Structure 1
Amino acid sequence: MRRLPLSLTAITLANLGIPLTNAACTLLQGGTIISFDEASQTPLILRNLSLLVTNDRIASIFPSCSSRVPPQTTTINVTAKIPSPGDDHAHGTFSRETAGAYFNGTVDSSAGVFWCYSIHDIGSGSTVKEQIDDFKLKDQLLSRRETITTLEIAYDGSSSSSLDEIQTVMELARESNISVPSFLNNTPFPIIFSHGSFMTAQDAILLRQTNQYLSMTPESEMHYGHTHPHGFLIQDQASLGIDTRFTYSADMVTQARLWLRSTRLFLFSQVLVQDWEIPQLNPMSVKQAFHSITRSRALALRRNDLGVLVEGVKADIVLFDGDSPNMLGWEDPSENIMRAVRSGFLDSARRIQGLMAVPELTGTSPFGVPFGMPRREDAVRGDQDGY
């Protein structure tokens, strides 16, 4: 039985040297699994269970004491670990050389990555035509390798480039049948818009009608000052992403924490500043933030078999180390990942809650200030809100 390294906060199965493309059966035994409740569209916590991966899919989830383990199964002890859905995409083309190094490193990592080749005028002698040729070459190389890396296109020139260039890139996308972050058309493949800081209500209606998604990158949007003034209104048709990684944080959890806190601040302020009232509840839940970096990111790619840990889907798994300092004391692991709860916090909180009655936040506060109801966020497409 293999044990996970205790020094890591989050690892993937690829880090353990287990390429899922050719592994017969792998058992993650004894963990706290962040699964998914389809009815409520929220994380479902399954404790002390085991997750069986056959080839590249989740075959079953069952009690750790079960004997339902096929012969020749690689067993990994994940006690005190948290199997979580993972989903990643990346883009970066600054020259043919850097694109090649970036691409080869991604493929060699054995991680499940949606790698986007950025086609744009970079002013370094690499023309759009040369980039397209390079993309086609990488597409051919990828088709001959056993990998779970997926090649996509990123294109930021839809509002500034010539019509001929836009049509050329669009035709490349059609030929390759892939997703294209950054611009819209009536296509059979998913298109993911970047940022959307200046979107309108009509833009939001169009996204919902065509079931295309927005990718918001909180860290860079706040850094550059254009922020995301209306992003919270389209969370049901949006996911979170990371901007250029050589400049900003390279993990999705940081983006989700920033987004959760900035959205809460904005909506709290509407009640506090505009109405001089005390908010009655949190306008956005930690589960919604978790949804935005897991399920929503998969749906943005129209991949219903990613972003959740349930039977039958692709085994796209990240393991969080429950013994790491920022995870000790967790109760609901999906919430703790978003909050970064410190050791001993939950025990202290329960002790205090046992001594104090939780007040009802209705009417007027003891300070004479009325309570007010902030807008409650909707982070799920359809009838549910993910709260």
Structure 2
Amino acid sequence: MRPINAIAILPLCLTAVGAASTLFRGGTVVAFNKQTQGLNVIRGGSVLITNDRITGVFTSAPSKVPAGTEIVDITGKIITPGFIDTHRHGWQTAFKTIASNTTLIEFFGRYSSFVAPFFWNATDVYDSQLAGLYEALNAGVTSSLDHATHTWSKDASSAGLQACIDSGARVFWGFTFANITGLVTVEDLYPVIREMAKKPGLRNSPTTLGIAYDGWGPNPNVAEINKIMALAKELNVSVITTHSLQGPWGFNNSPEDIHALNYLNISTPIVFSHASFLTPAGAALLRSTNQYISITPESEMHYGQTHPVSYNIQDQASLGIDTHITFSTDILTQARIWLQQTRYERYLDVLEQSKLPRSNPMSAEQAFLLATRHGGLALRRPDLGIIAEGAKADLVIWDGNSPALLGWVDPVAAVILHASVGDIEAVLVDGKWVKRGGKLVAKGWPDARANFLRTAKRLQAIWRDMPMPEPPAEFNGVPVVSPVQADVLRGPGNGYGNVYI
């Protein structure tokens, strides 16, 4: 037996006797190799966690462990770091399945924070946010960057943040500064974020305070931005995030916009969600300032933002979910979709030259790193998204004997290309079990489920009776037209059908 990336284990054994520790023994460990910055697969390996940290990664079972250590046999199983989602709107969970065919323009006018606050109360926000986080934990997503657009009032803000704390998930909660006509202004929100920073329980939870803001450009309110950034410094926020969508959509919030205001090259991470039309100059700025984008593959396909250039900036990219009300809430699905979409695009580059591809343009390991390690890099948290000594004990254990994984040899391919959420046997955040034996064991889950069902039923009834808006003739000065609709039926009709709500 020898430790990997070793920090001597013997002093740990002598000094950490009183600490809560667990040893996962005998499984296949998808560890991180600090020398290559890639993966290191250890078969028959072991992982020791003490309190909230990984304190040992071994090629076999260690001979000495702290007294009172819980021993968990994971023979035949795969243990990986938890997935990291760098863009989501968790509070919207109650809208799930009622927006399956929606467009982005319809989303803005029907499901966004510019509409919902006039119907939602703080309890709704709490129930919906909490249920969404439990859903993500069940899917092995241990860390989320939440662009928390539910901060339209003190009560709604407090409810959403409390749900993050109560979930046990690692949430980078991005308090959103936005003007909502008839309800709230950015100026109203300055004292609210200060109150959120003092919220009881926040400091002792995995949740941290961040800021979300979409007013960087092209016509910024510089005084407003300076005030928000002063608050970011005062409150020592963990992250800043922004929707970045250029091209025909007409939004900016580009790296160039933030750089022009002298706020790009700062110690706080800035995550650009989507960045679908990132320019070469923007990409160069990201690399020079070490800032990241969050690619949300399913969202960008569903809503039509697309991602025409994101394949070229994967060295400064992570993966996100976005609006999980309309599709998957798990990063595993996003990693798989993005892997195959990248392969498709790079193959197409060759085929359009009337040539044939000699090699596969993207690997399962690269997709795995985007879903784990790169999320930690985007958040400037090198202790997240990896299995290595000193890293946070955010772990996922996969059932290697499930029908989907039975007979696996390569654990990375098994997870990225064959597994599903149903193959996740256990999840830990900060060394605490939130899923075990294939079931959520997070504190409060049974009550949260019942409360959410009541909340969702009430809100879905309101939206069911709400008239559908007519599509505008133009959006941000750009004509709005209908794409060619798919046809899946022979003869008359095309099978488009309805939303069955």
TM range (shorter): 0.7 to 0.9
> What secondary structure sits across from 1:236 in the alignment?
helix
1:289 counterpart = 2:347: no
- Partners of 1:336 and 1:154 in 2: CA distance: 35
User: 1:201 pairs with 280, 285, 307, which one?
Assistant: 280
% identical aligned pairs: 45
Map 1:54-133 onto structure 2 (within 5 A): 54-86=50-82, 87=84, 88-89=143-144, 90-94=146-150, 95-96=152-153, 97-123=155-181, 125-133=183-191
**8 Å CA contact 2:147, 2:241 repeated in 1:** no
1:174 counterpart = 2:233: yes
> Which residue of structure 1 lines up, in the alignment, with residue 204 of structure 2?
146
- Partners of 1:47 and 1:240 in 2: CA distance: 28
> Which residue of structure 1 lines up, in the alignment, with residue 349 of structure 2?
270
User: 1:226 pairs with 282, 305, 310, which one?
Assistant: 305
**8 Å CA contact 2:29, 2:45 repeated in 1:** yes
> Which residue of structure 2 lines up, in the alignment, with residue 364 of structure 1?
none
- Partners of 2:80 and 2:310 in 1: CA distance: 26
Map 1:281-360 onto structure 2 (within 5 A): 281-340=359-418
Change (3 A) 1:144 1:42: closer
In the TM superposition, residue 161 of structure 1 has moved relative to its aligned partner by 5.0
In the TM superposition, residue 70 of structure 1 has moved relative to its aligned partner by 0.9
* One-letter amino acid of the counterpart of residue 79, structure 1: T
**8 Å CA contact 1:36, 1:42 repeated in 2:** yes
In the TM superposition, residue 311 of structure 1 has moved relative to its aligned partner by 1.2
What TM-score does the superposition give when structure 1 sets the normalisation length? 0.77
In the TM superposition, residue 314 of structure 1 has moved relative to its aligned partner by 1.9
Change (3 A) 1:134 1:324: farther
What TM-score does the superposition give when structure 2 sets the normalisation length? 0.60
Change (3 A) 1:205 1:45: same
User: 1:158 pairs with 216, 223, 226, which one?
Assistant: 216
- Partners of 1:116 and 1:75 in 2: CA distance: 37
**8 Å CA contact 2:46, 2:58 repeated in 1:** yes
Give ranges in structure 2 of 5+ residues lacking alignment: 1-17, 85-142, 243-252, 421-501
**8 Å CA contact 1:329, 1:341 repeated in 2:** no
- Partners of 1:134 and 1:229 in 2: CA distance: 38
In the TM superposition, residue 124 of structure 1 has moved relative to its aligned partner by 6.1
After TM superposition, the runs of 4+ consecutive aligned structure 1 residues lying more than 4 A away are 142-145
In the TM superposition, residue 244 of structure 1 has moved relative to its aligned partner by 2.5
* One-letter amino acid of the counterpart of residue 74, structure 2: V
> Which residue of structure 2 lines up, in the alignment, with residue 373 of structure 1?
none
- Partners of 1:166 and 1:247 in 2: CA distance: 32
